[in-house]
Structure 1
Amino acid sequence: MAIDKRGRKLPKGIRQRGNTFEGRYTHRGESYTVHGNTVSETQDKLDDLKYQLKHGIYIARKDIYLSEWIEEWLEDYVKAHKKIGTYTTYKDLYHSAIRPEIALLRLQDITVDTVEQIYKRIKKKREYSKASMETIAVIIKGSLLRAERKQLINSNPAKAAELPIIANCNEEDKKQRIALTREQQELFMECAKESYLYNLFYVLLRTGMRVGEALALKYTDIDKKNNQLHISRTLKYVEGKFVEDTPKSKTSIRDIPLTDNLIKVLDAQRNYWGFKIDRIDRYLFCDDEGKPLYRGRVQTQINRAIRKAREIDKTFPDFTPHTFRHTFATRAIEEGMEPQVLKTILGHGSYAMTMDLYAHVLPDKKQEAMKLIENAF
């Protein structure tokens, strides 16, 4: 049973949202919501809703704010039907980017021009990446499509709305796209030797795993018989707790071949803290109490090693855990790994994603490639 801000129990189906209250009721698989300024007002609306639904006289709401509808859509539809990571991403973007721009807009008043103006205001306020803006559009389109299907609006105006022109990447994207040179890679690992996450950095650099996938690894994922590492989950921190989620896409569920050196490092990690990491519920990379690791702690350890590296090389760049993935892909391409093989190891959802990496790396090898075929003519 829910409680209000004062700790008082609320009636079934009612919860407090900010300074107002929300009542929810499910009828024949469909969720319905009412709002009120007080508990009694919300309860009256909820009772009236139940009566109308029971007697077949319910008429879809005709007066609802867009913000109210999107929040309802996030909680009742996205949270129930999408991955927890998707729900969290949508919710965060909604609150940071969309909500401030739609405060007084009513659902029934939204037009194509309204949606395009929302996009322009969001873009003007903050230079979001192309990927973030596309996700913002998905949120608005998806919520309005649901409103159309529930007959709250006649048609979805977001279908015809266009996003403003956005550069392919901003500074944040550029940081994500950094790949360490061989010299930087060696210097970093040397400076990270004292870090309790050294083994994690080693594994990330030599497998191309996403950091969430690595933090979700358990010893049972190591298949020594077939020399493979099974990737089947990712670890996220959502609403104050750690949550296991499925990987980014279907192709992200994969097996990564293991080398002898990787197996040695993984075995060493098993006993790193002095206790065996073989319990099925314990993560391979954890803290000294066996608890899961926050991504922020990974970044903190990276930053410490970077500061040491800059004592030797003042130009050493800042980077994020994702840089290990891009560095692995760069080394693989430089050593001649076939695109299809790299796609499988990285768990890319499309061949185009892998070829984009090739386009990023190969220009530096043009001269070398030309020399190789010089004697062919």
Structure 2
Amino acid sequence: MAVDKRNRKLPKGIRQRYDGYEGRFMYKGASYLVHGDTITATQKEMTELKYKLEHGIFVEQRKVTLEAWFDTWLREYKENRVKLGTLSTYQSAFLVIKDRIGKQYLTDLRGEHIQKVYNDLLKEGYSISTISLVSALLSGLMKQAFRNGLIERNPVLLAEMPREAKKKERRVMTRAEQELFMEYAKDSYLYNLFAVMLRTGLRSGEARGLRYSDIDKKNDVLKVQRTLKRKRNAGFYTDTPKTKTSERNIPLTSDIRKLLEAQRHYWGFKVEKIDRYLFCTEKGEPLSEQRIKYEMDRITKKIRATGHDFERISPHTFRHTFATRAIEAGMQPQVLKTILGHSSLAMTMDLYSHVLPDTKADEMEKIAGVF
């Protein structure tokens, strides 16, 4: 029987070390080792480990890095279950944390490590949405690692998301700005694209992914059934719309019909190329998001050069502007939700709540005569 430094007898399986105590025992032919600062703590660790072994809940600590596990998780659990665009999003999110904790072993990651990642990203200017994406990725990775018995607890559950700063107000063009931009865009090869986005609220990828075959003349609707994306070093590809509700039909007005028909013949391509993207380059190639932004910036510079104060806009500004005009015109929120392809009415109202203060007074006047 082992003794401590004072020559006192120690419990069976426990011996003293320079930094505390260690406990050893055998279970089904295998040797197990635990450590503790005191004899009591060591005995507790031994009891807990024996319980886990007897009940089949012991997790063998394998040395797997977060980076190695991400590759396995992506390949074995996600590649055949999620869209290509989602895989690309996962990869982009992991790049944000790869050099920070990618080389750490899963078993060594603790809540404070995850918390430090969140805090550092916030200090470095990353948006809350990006940090949320990183958090969702880590959560998925760790949940599967826990299910697979690679870790005993999920450290992501021990970290808290940083407090969200005041949301930046979405850029929406006023009616005057809207008219000004479209006036200066008249000589642009993307004029029809801008005009259609402004009248439909289409996302950039949805508009760039339109084909002439998506125009359903019989039912007088525009079918939104794909989105155009681009992956670094892989080129363009089409993906299903953002969510299930994003696949939708948008009623055609006379203005939209004229714009789509004009675009069909804009570059002089032959009609039989019915699967060609409706909005494309002069060579019939797909349009990139960056190319659209460049053209919008060019038009904005022209506007400013004439003395107008015009804040920079993005392709998504057309979507926000469409929704704002729709609410101002009295479109029912439930109808707007369907046209925009939102998954919930709450999302629609939250995004465009900035319009409500301007209409409250008018709405109150409607019932003033009732009393």
| TM-score, scaled to structure 2 | 0.79
Measure, in 2, the Cα distance between the counterparts of 1:209 and 1:139.
28
2:297 aligns to what?
A: 303
Q: How does 1:237-252 map to 2 (within 5 A)?
A: 237-240=230-233, 241-252=235-246
Q: How far did 1:152 drift?
A: 1.5
Q: 1:155 aligns with which of 153, 163, 182?
A: 153
Corresponding position of 1:200 = 193
Instruction: Determine the structure 2 residue equivalent to 1:38.
Output: none
Shift of 1:320: 0.4
Aligned to 1:272: 266
Q: Supply the AA of the counterpart residue of 2:205.
A: G
Contact 2:61 2:107 in 1 (8 A): no
Residue number in structure 2 paired with 1:284: 278
Q: How does 1:1-377 map to 2 (within 5 A)?
A: 62-95=62-95, 97-124=96-123, 126-170=124-168, 174=169, 177-240=170-233, 241-276=235-270, 278-377=272-371
Matches of 2:265 and 2:367, distance apart in 1: 51
> Structure 1 pair 309/294, CA: closer, same or farther in 2 (3 Å)?
same
> For residues 255-294 of structure 1, what are the alpha-carbon distances to aligned partners after superposition, in whole Å with 9 as ceiling and x for unaligned?
0000111111101111110113553431101111111011
Counterpart CA distance in 1 for 2:340 and 2:245 is 9
Q: How far did 1:148 drift?
A: 1.7
Query: What are the superposed Cα offsets for residues 42-75 of structure 1, whole Å, 9 maximum, x if unpaired?
Result: xxxxxxxxxxxxxxxxx98711222332243234
Displacement of 1:325:
0.2
Q: Percent of counterpart pairs with the same letter? A: 48
Report the Cα distance in structure 1 between the residues aligned to 2:97 and 2:352, rounded to whole angstroms.
35
Equivalent AA in structure 1 for residue 100 of structure 2: E
Change (3 A) 1:198 1:155: same
Aligned CA distance change for structure 1 residues 75 and 61 (closer, same or farther; 3 Å): farther
> What CA distance in whole angstroms lies between the structure 2 residues aligned with 1:193 and 1:60?
67
How far does residue 103 in structure 1 lie from its aligned partner after superposition?
A: 4.3
* Residues 122 and 128, structure 2, Cα contact 8 Å, conserved in 1: no
Indicate if the aligned counterparts of 1:67 and 1:99 stay in contact, CA closer than 8 A: yes
Secondary structure of the equivalent of 1:135? helix
Other-structure match for 1:26: none
Whole-Å separation in 2 of the counterparts to 1:303 and 1:115: 39
Is the 1:208–1:346 contact (alpha carbons within 8 Å) kept by the matching residues of 2? yes
- Deviation of the 1:149 alpha carbon: 2.2
Structure-1 separation of matches of 2:145 and 2:177: 52
State whether residues 66 and 107 of structure 1, in contact with CA within 8 Å, keep that contact through their aligned partners in structure 2: yes
Scaled by the length of structure 1, the TM-score of the pair is 0.78
Q: Residues of 2 paired with 1:324 and 1:207: CA distance?
A: 9
**1:374 Cα deviation from its structure 2 partner:** 3.5
Letter in 2 for 1:112: G
Contact 1:210 1:325 in 2 (8 A): yes
Cα distance in 1 between the residues matched to 2:278 and 2:99: 41
Structure 2 CA distance for aligned equivalents of residues 238 and 277 of structure 1: 29
State whether residues 212 and 235 of structure 1, in contact with CA within 8 Å, keep that contact through their aligned partners in structure 2.
yes
Measure, in 2, the Cα distance between the counterparts of 1:281 and 1:168: 44
The 1:243–1:61 alpha-carbon spacing in structure 2 relative to 1, beyond 3 Å, is farther
Alpha-carbon distance between aligned partners in 1 of 2:286 and 2:74, rounded to the nearest angstrom: 27
Aligned residue pairs total: 312
Residues 63, 107 of structure 1: 8 Å contact kept: yes
Q: Is the 8 A contact 1:220 1:278 kept in 2?
A: no
Q: Write the letter of the residue equivalent to 2:191.
A: Y
Structure whose CA Rg is larger: 2
Cα RMSD over matched residues? 1.9
Q: Distance in 2 between matches of 1:60 and 1:246?
A: 41
More displaced 10-residue stretch of structure 1: 159-168 or 245-254: 159-168
Q: Tell me how far apart the structure 2 counterparts of residues 307 and 67 of structure 1 sit (CA, whole Å).
A: 44
Structure 2 residue ranges without an equivalent (≥5) = 1-58
